[in-house]
Amino acid sequence: QLTMSLNSSTLLSEENTEGAKRNTECFKSLLQMPSSFQDNPLQQLQLASQEVLEKAKKSGRSKCPRCNSSRMFYCYTCFVPVETVPTKEIPTVKLPLKIDIIKHPNETDGKSTAVHAKLLAPDDVTIYKYPCIPEYEESRHETALVFPGPNSVSVKDIAYHLQKYTKKGVCASDDDCSREPLLKQAKIEPEEEKNPDEGISSSRSEGTRLKKIIFIDSTWNQTNKIITDERLQGLLQIELKTRKTCFWRHQKGKPDTYLSTIEAIYYFLVDYHQEILKESYKGQYDNLLFFFSFMYTLIKDAKCCAGKE
């Protein structure tokens, strides 16, 4: 995933052939769209001003206010902006549910986009470094894991499948689950249902039973160790099958529906907002791609200047 060196030649040398092919495929899929959108498929996002990032790019690397390490834009170990990027100029996003990100210990901090989520939605995102992760057994009735697999379901089917879970765990059979009234399950945490900040109301309690979503942050070749951990077994798995990545470090041999961490979080929330909350999406979570979109444009421009496209 992304590095924080902004030297154009360094950025270009780090991009492998597969990454270039992936970018080309991404752009080909946009040929029927207006030319301005082809130039940057992320430009229609409703983002806060990125002027602060433009200024930081020109001034170069700066110190992390906590560990004093030299970084560009933000410190990926302390999860805070650097001194040249005032926190007040970074947007914050309120999410409709909590997010846990489980980071593989061998995943390079500086290449991970998971930190974007923590920087932009600090109240709703927690990052854990495997194997130090929570126990989810008692919250399986309200927790799901985003990960592709043979048993994964789409976002729109979350409510249907979560009804098979009880507060103590998974039902013994579908018949047992069907006998559990949906409204009775929805009253497990009534105080949360009445909290408008969580985007939950009694009228849609069935669809908003989900309270926490888990993402794994690692290369796809490293995921097996985490996904097979006993603490994640039995969780409902969600797959984002209709989204295609435009990440500049797409991993060789993997389908283009395998997204970077921040893309997966963003697209999940957009689908959740529309399919589960049943509300019109008006850019509420677009700022989750505040850093990602800036880096996308930066790398694309660097390639253009070097005659790579």
Residue 194 lies in a domain: no
| Least confident among 19-23, 94-98, 196-200, 210-214 | 196-200
Q: Are 132 and 155 found together in one domain?
A: yes
Q: How far apart are CA 216 and CA 225, in angstroms?
A: 11
Q: Is residue 286 part of a domain?
A: yes
Residue 173 has pLDDT above 80, yes or no: no
Residue 224 has a pLDDT of 86
**Looking at 22, 57, 89, which one is the last position of a domain?**
89
85 and 136 part of one domain:
no
Which pLDDT value is given to residue 15? 42
Q: How many C-beta atoms surround the C-beta of residue 289 within 10 A?
A: 23
pLDDT at 247: 53
Residue 223: what pLDDT? 86
Q: What is the pLDDT of residues 256-270, one digit of tens each?
A: 656 889 999 999 999
282-308 per-position pLDDT tens digit: 999 999 999 999 988 887 777 666 665
Q: Is residue 141 part of a domain?
A: yes
Would you state the pLDDT for residue 148? 86
Say yes or no to pLDDT of 188 above 60.
no
Q: Residues 72-78: what's their mean pLDDT?
A: 95
Classify residue 98: in a domain, yes or no: yes
**Is the pLDDT higher at 243 or at 92?**
92
Count of other CB atoms within 10 angstroms of residue 147: 20
Buried b (16+ CB within 10 A) or exposed e, 46-69: ebeebebbeebeeeeebebeeeee
pLDDT at residue 251 in the model? 56
Question: How many distinct structural domains can be found in the chain?
Answer: 2
Note down the domain range covering 76. 46-89
Residues 146 and 247 grouped into a single domain:
yes
- Based on the fold, state whether residues 100 and 235 are members of the same structural domain: yes
Q: What's the pLDDT band for 218 if we cut at 50, 70, 90?
A: confident
Are 261 and 112 in contact by the 8 Å Cβ rule? The answer is yes
Q: Does residue 281 lie within any of the structural domains?
A: yes
Structure confidence by residue, pLDDT tens digits, 123-157: 999 999 999 999 999 999 999 999 988 899 999 99
The yes-or-no verdict on residue 111 having pLDDT over 80 is yes
Q: Is the pLDDT of residue 167 over 80?
A: no
Residues 79 and 155 in one domain: no
State how far the alpha carbon of 195 is from the alpha carbons of 11, 75, 201, 275, in Å: 45, 33, 8, 20
Q: How far apart are CA 141 and CA 107, in angstroms?
A: 30
Task: For 4-54, write each residue's pLDDT tens digit.
Answer: 333 333 333 434 444 444 444 443 443 333 334 345 567 789 999 999 999
244 shares its domain with 108: yes
HEC secondary structure over the chain: CCCCCCCHHHHHHHCCHHHHHHHHHHHHCCCCCCHHHHHCCCCCCCCCCCHHHHHHHHHCCEECCCCCCEECCEECCCCEECCCCCHHHCCCCCCCCEEEEEECCCCCHHHCCHHHHHHHCCCCEEEEECCCCCCCHHHHHHEEEECCCCCCECHHHHHHHHCCEECCEECCCHHHHHCCCHHHHHCCCHHHHCCHHHCCCHHHCCCCCCCEEEEEECCHHHHHHHHCCHHHCCCEEECCCCCCCCCCCCCCCCCCCCCCHHHHHHHHHHHHHHHCCCCCCCCCCHHHHHHHHHHHHHHHHHHHHCCCC
Same domain, residue pair 241 and 144: yes
- Same domain (yes/no): 130, 218: yes
Q: Which residue has the higher pLDDT, 281 or 177?
A: 281
Same domain? For 71 and 159 the reply is: no
Q: In the prediction, which pLDDT does 66 show?
A: 96
